[in-house]
Amino acid sequence: MKYGNSELRGKFVLGPMAAYTDIAFRLLCRRAGAAMCFTEFANAEAINRGGKNTDALLQTCKEEMPVGIQIFGATPEAMGKSAAAISARVQDGELFASCIDINFGCPAGSVIRAGAGSALLKSPEKMHAIAEACVKHSSLPVTAKIRAGWRNDSAVELAKMLESAGVAGITVHWRTATEGRKRQAGWEMLREVKEAVGIPLIGNGGASTPEKAVRFLNETGCDAVMISSAALGNPHIFTQANDLLEKGKYRETLWGEKRASFLEYASLAQKHGVATPKRLRAQAIEWVTGFNGVKEARKRLNSAKTEEAVTGIISSFTPNQ
């Protein structure tokens, strides 16, 4: 399956997650078998201002391709302009990307109040104008990530509308914006979306284990499944889901392997200049979650003041029996 400019060699992709899916985490997930990754969303207005912090969010490298750069914003002008700026930087070889992905799904209050993210699901004509502006000004393919709707499920209509605006691929999180994570089941609705559009479809929402990820794929007919929160502290989920799909079985990850992958994350984060004590602490907490002794480890991590202190805690952490 081709997504944006890139051929995907697998069925499971890493979703965008603010404050987590930095370049180091994406590289780790790619090495573990993720077919593609997405950057966390970057504010179009900030990209257009050339803000340093936003620049760091856009940082991508050749080794991690295929990667999608995700942007959000409320107006066709700002979004078109930032799509043009990113395309130019990709053409210059400063950034690498398979596509520019528009965020039409974020339900965070500050994003909705700004009229961006999932707020746009309430105004399909505005979504259309934003998608069209990005397509017009970008030399890269433009993709979009949506939820099934704002309050009611209108995924089929929204997907068709985005396809008509020139979008080259779409990710649909099957829950609506207002129901948050409350709804437990419902990904079957994506089969209708798949049948309604000719562009590649990535399904998202609730692929929290290798079993669920494979079932999601089989029960919806989506071209790929996006795994987001279940990959936090757990890049191995991509190896496991791939193994389950291809060989019918997978093995559990041992703590020693998890420890090694966190240390690899920390080293990649240093190498690419994204390591801060705060970021490493947040990632490390995800790595120990689910293991015996997590409460004490979390307490120690929360008071770790340096990157070395964080890696030291993870190096010496041994789950209680």
Q: By rule CB under 6 A, what count of residues binds ligand FMN?
A: 21
| 197 contact partners, CB below 8 Å, separation of at least 6 | 159, 160, 163, 170
Q: Is 122 exposed, middle or buried (0-12, 13-18, 19+ CB in 10 A)?
A: middle
Under 8 Å between Cβ of 54 and 42: yes
Choice between 185 and 254, CB closer to ligand FMN: 185
* Residue 40 DSSP symbol: P
* Strand positions, DSSP E, the chain: 2-3, 6-7, 12-14, 37-38, 42-43, 67-72, 99-104, 142-147, 170-173, 201-204, 224-227
Binders of ligand FMN in range 54-93 (CB under 6 A): 70
Choice between 76 and 203, CB closer to ligand FMN: 203
Binders of ligand FMN in range 267-306 (CB under 6 A): none
The pair of structure tokens assigned to 99 is 């596509």
Whole-angstrom distance, CA of residue 53 vs CA of residue 70: 15
- Asked whether position 227 contacts ligand FMN by CB under 6 A, the answer is yes
Question: What's the one-letter identity of residue 267?
Answer: S
Whole-angstrom distance, CA of residue 319 vs CA of residue 304: 19
Choice between 40 and 223, CB closer to ligand FMN: 40
Q: How far is the CB of 63 from ligand FMN (least distance, A)?
A: 22
Among 5, 10, 18, 194, binds ligand FMN (CB under 6 A): 18
Binding segment (CB under 6 A) for ligand FMN, from list 14-22, 152-160, 192-200, 286-294: 14-22
Q: How far is the CB of 105 from ligand FMN (least distance, A)?
A: 5
* Residue 62 DSSP symbol: G
Choice between 138 and 143, CB closer to ligand FMN: 143
- Asked whether position 137 contacts ligand FMN by CB under 6 A, the answer is no
CA-to-CA separations, 264 to 13, 31, 34, 310, in angstroms, rounded: 20, 11, 16, 13
Among 66, 169, 206, 233, binds ligand FMN (CB under 6 A): 206
Closest CA to 16 of 33, 34, 39: 39
Choice between 20 and 262, CB closer to ligand FMN: 20
- Asked whether position 22 contacts ligand FMN by CB under 6 A, the answer is no
Under 8 Å between Cβ of 102 and 88: no
Q: How far is the CB of 18 from ligand FMN (least distance, A)?
A: 4
Q: Tokens 């900030």 correspond to what residue?
A: 46
Among 228, 234, 261, 283, binds ligand FMN (CB under 6 A): 228
Choice between 4 and 16, CB closer to ligand FMN: 16
- Give yes or no: 106 in active site: yes
- Asked whether position 149 contacts ligand FMN by CB under 6 A, the answer is no
Q: How far is the CB of 245 from ligand FMN (least distance, A)?
A: 17
Under 8 Å between Cβ of 121 and 150: yes
User: Catalytic residue among 29, 106, 134, 222, which?
Assistant: 106
Strand partners for 6: 3
Which x/- pattern over 165-204 shows residues binding ligand FMN (rule: CB under 6 A)? --------x------------------------------x
- Asked whether position 313 contacts ligand FMN by CB under 6 A, the answer is no
Under 8 Å between Cβ of 59 and 18: no
CA angle (162, 165, 167) in 5-degree steps = 60
List residues near ligand FMN by CB under 6 A: 15-18, 20, 40-41, 70, 103, 105-106, 145, 173, 204-207, 227-230
Catalytic residues, by residue number, are 106
